[in-house]
Structure formats: C-alpha cells, structure tokens
Amino acid sequence: MSSDITAAVPRPPARSASSPVLTGAQAVVRSLGLLGVTDVFGLPGGAIMPVYDPLMDDESVRHILVRHEQGAGHAAEGYAAATGRIGVALATSGPGATNLVTAIADAYMDSVPLVCITGQVFSTLMGTDAFQEADIVGITMPITKHSFLVKRAEDIPGAIAAAFEIAGTGRPGPVLVDITKDAQQNSAPFVWPPKIDLPGYRPVTKAHGKQIQAAAQLLAEAKQPVLYVGGGVIRARASAELVTLADATGAPVVTTLMARGAFPDSHPHHLGMPGMHGTVPAVLALQEADLIVALGARFDDRVTGKAALFAPNAKVVHVDIDPAEISKIRFADVPIVGDVRDVLVDLEAAFRGAAEGATPDIDQWWAYLNGLREEFPLGFAPTTDGLLAPQHVIQRIGELTGPEGVYAAGVGQHQMWAAQFIKYERPNSWLNSGGAGTMGYAVPAAMGAKVAEPDRVVWAIDGDGCFQMTNQELATCVINEIPIKVAIINNSSLGMVRQWQTLFFEGRHSHTDLHTGHGTARVPDFVKLAEAYGCLAIRVEREDEVDAAIELALATNDRPVVIDFVVSADSMVWPMVPQGVSNSEVQYARQHAPAFDEED
C-alpha cells in the first residue's frame, strides 16, 4: 500500500514551548536517533542532500558511504538479517531511488525489516519530468508493506516513526519514505513521540485457541508428521520454542533455505533442507507425510515442486502471521494466524494435553526416515578435471570458522552448496536471497552483517558471476574498516544456468562462460582486482592450499580478505528435483556420493 503521509498519519499536535524548530532534514536525522538507529547505509545526491548536512554532525548515527545504492539496500538487509533489527538505507531521487528497487524487492520476498528513505524533487516540480524525478512511491508500491510520500516538514517525524512501526511488526518487510526537497529544507516544530495512527493496519499476533487445540490433536494422532520450518521462525526469534516442540512431539524437522539455522543441524530430529536441492530424507519426508505442520513457511514452488502433486496424503496445519499466506498454495486443514513464537508455546502445551503424557507412536516413521538418511547421505566425488571440488571448499570454510560465524551467500550453485555443506547451529547465521534470487547480494549483505555484528567472523560466499555485480563495495569495506572475508567459488561460468543447460539443453552452454577462472587469461583477475581495492587477496588452485588460505583469512582482521578458489565447472548441485514435477521424482546422483560405488 502507499499514501501521501498527510492522509495516513494525523498532523502533529500543536507546538509546545518545549518543541524545537528543526528543518525537515534535521527532523529525519533526529527521528532516526530517537528510534535507536545507530547505522545507516547510503549515497548522497541532489534531492537528499539536505539530510546529509545534519547527518555529518550527528554522532549517534554512523553513515556508511556505499559505492552503489543497491549495495546500500543489500547492506541494510544483511544488517537486519543478522540481528533482527531494522536496516536503514538512504538514496537520492530518480536513479538513486530506482537503484534501491532490487534490494527492496528482495527484502519484500524474504520478509526483511527495512526502511528506505529517499529524496524527491520539489513538490512544485512533481509531475513535470523534472531532473532526476521518478515516481518511486508508485514504482515500489507492489514490493513494500507501505510507501509514504512526505511533502511537509512537520509530517516527517510521524512518517519515519510509522515506517519503523510497519517494517518491524506483523510480517516484517520494507517500507519506503519519499521526502520532497522542500519538505527537507522547510522548518517546523519537532514533536516527539509523534502520534501514529495507521487505519487498517492491525497485525494479528495472538492465535485462536480452538485452532491451537485442533492442531495439537492432529499432532498427537499423526503417524508420519513433519515440522516444515520456514524463515518466519527466524524472523519471530522462535528457534528455542521450535526445539521445545520438536523434543516434545518427537517429530522430524526440515528447514527451508530461508530457515537454515532455525533448528540446529546437530539435532537428531533434523532431516536437512527440503526442496529442489534439498536432502532426500527431507524431500521425501514432506512428500510422504500424513501431517505437515508448516511454521512461518509459504509453500514456495522450490519446496513443493509441482504443487498439485505435493504431499498428497498429508493434512496441513499452517501457522503464519500473514493471513494472505494461509491456503494460498496449499489448503490448510487447520489455519492458524499469529506470531509463530507465541503459537509454538501454546501448541507445545496443548500437545502435551492432547497426548495425555504419551509419546506418539512414530517409530516406524523414524525407521523409514533413518533408512533414507543412511542410503542417501549428502556427499560429493572428487573432480575429474584436477580442479577443486567446490563442495569441499565450502565445507572447510564452515568447519574452520564454526557455528558462531555468519555466512552470506550469493545466488546459484555456491548458494546451494553453502546451504548444504555448512552446519548451522543458530539462527541469523545464514543470510541469502531466497525469494528473489538476487545475484550480487553476498558482498554488501556481508558488509552490513559485519557492521551489525563486528565481533563475529562474516563470510561472503560468492560466485564469480555474483561477485562481479557488487564487488565495488569492497572499497566501502576497506575505507570503513569492515573486515569481511570473501570466498569466490570461481568455476568461470554462470554455474547454475550451466548445470541446467547440461541437464536439460543437451549440454549447449549458451553464453554462460565468464572466462574468470581457468588458464592465464582471467578477465578479470580477481586477485589483482581485490589488491587494487586494498584487500588481502589469495588464489587457491590445489586442495592442499585450501585450509591454509582459510586459516590466513580467519587470522586477518585489519582489512577484507578475498580468496579466489578456482573450482571445477563440471560440479553439480545434487540432489535435485527438476522443475515442474513431483517431489517423488527427486534425482540423487549416486556417483556424487562417496558412500556408493557407481555400479551400485
């Protein structure tokens, strides 16, 4: 939804003797400070320049000057995803604002709390095709929770406070505040806190008790239950409550790409990630379940495969704070709208009552699932071209860094391998672009996460294609002393597209060779590029060099580190459910699993 702020928020109360008179620009900065914002990412331009003047003198809000507005948006996303706090990005009008659109869409798809503040041309010039004018409110209407247009200085505190309220409550998401230049330059009494009234915005957090009881009864009676965990569990900070429910019910747990870390990989109930590149036990557990309890998940097509063929024998309990998600893809036998953290607490208590102290009889179900675990382990075979196995590289990054690290991935094969081969034990340790699938996410998101969590090791696990989209933010990292680690999984190609071309287009690799990794003619040479930015840069081409390079990166904290891992282009992501088929048709390449002989 979108609105002119004068229609969405009542005008501030009359000026009191204690209300200072501030320019609209000063009000922006003062409001951010009073809302507890300590870090913002942005890039100035003409229409937002008034805000940057008081920002220069404000000691409570640190501004990180990015090299591209998309970097500001992704950095704010990484900041939010690593902490649960609201990320903030600033940009000017026109192309500055439109450069934020990809990050805004990304945040909308993945429920990331984000506030983007953009400058707009003078209100008297709006609609005249003025220099750097763009209707950013209209452009972002489909990809924000709300978009505000502010034309008066006195409305700025209320707009920003309302934006934070909307972004951080209910289902989190991005909110845009577009402020005309005259509103920034004009003065008005600064009244805080402003009165916020958002007609029609009433997020439901408390679920209906009868629905909780119905879900508990189904859990107590199920013979083949599965807890299907989505990213909403992480956004709701409900990981501890999830473990309690899993322990109480004995049910297996699968965590989606967005939920990696919501449930510890080491927990015996965890079957791994479901979906197109999920583990065979996780994929088939969902497919053959008689009860699916979906927690903060949206039945994405990458999880369900062909939706009409998904889990044909399962009843569904669907828990989500967003009522629009309930029964959108799969009919919910028991729909529960509410905060998943509160629901988990109530559901666990209700289950104990429904089960009357008994443990559900699901031993046969676990025998079947454990058999799948044994028969279909995650694994990979050595490469045949002498180049590094990317799975090994990523696995060693996770093993040497440990679960307290933060791992931000780009999009493609390396993203799937990072989801598969790094062990996640805590929420907010895995950051990626799940819904939008945005190449270029990793480096700026890692930068934002490191600003938010300076005491943690933060890795950007990137592909050679993704890295070339946003690597300019390494300059931001060097200048601002943000020592992220970047692992380029360099297969010299657009790897996931190449994999599909291999499997479905008769090996016709049309326009997927990037010429970045193999031979002497590297375009670009990532080591030289990283050194030009002021990073420590390393190239690794042999397996016996992998650990030493990672250990050097972990020991280097005075600047960013970039490691160019030259890996095989022939490595593929397995298992795989081809698009448009039933999950029952999951393909598992035994030759890629060292536990099996090829002739087995």
By annotation, the residues acting in catalysis are 69, 131-132, 181, 496
Query: Which residue in 395, 408, 394, 397 sits closest to 452, CA to CA?
Result: 408
Max CA distance (Å), the chain: 85
Kindly state the tokens that stand for 158. 């209320």
DSSP 559-572: S-EEEEEEB-TT--
User: CA-CA distance, 310 to 318, in Å (whole number)?
Assistant: 15
User: CA-CA distance, 305 to 585, in Å (whole number)?
Assistant: 10
Strands 174-180 vs 225-229: parallel, antiparallel or unpaired = unpaired
Say which residue the tokens 């506030």 belong to.
Answer: 115
Element (DSSP H or E) covering residue 2: strand 2-4
Query: Which residue type does 21 have?
Result: V
Query: Which residue type does 339 have?
Result: D
Helices 413-421 and 495-504, interaxial angle, to 10°?
Answer: 100
Contacts of 111 (CB under 8 A, 6+ apart): 171, 172, 173, 231, 232, 235
Peptide bond into 524 cis (omega under 30): yes
Strands (E), 105-153: 114-120, 146-150
User: CA-CA distance, 149 to 169, in Å (whole number)?
Assistant: 21
- Measured from the Cβ of residue 349, the count of other Cβ atoms closer than 10 Å reads 15
User: CA-CA distance, 305 to 285, in Å (whole number)?
Assistant: 14
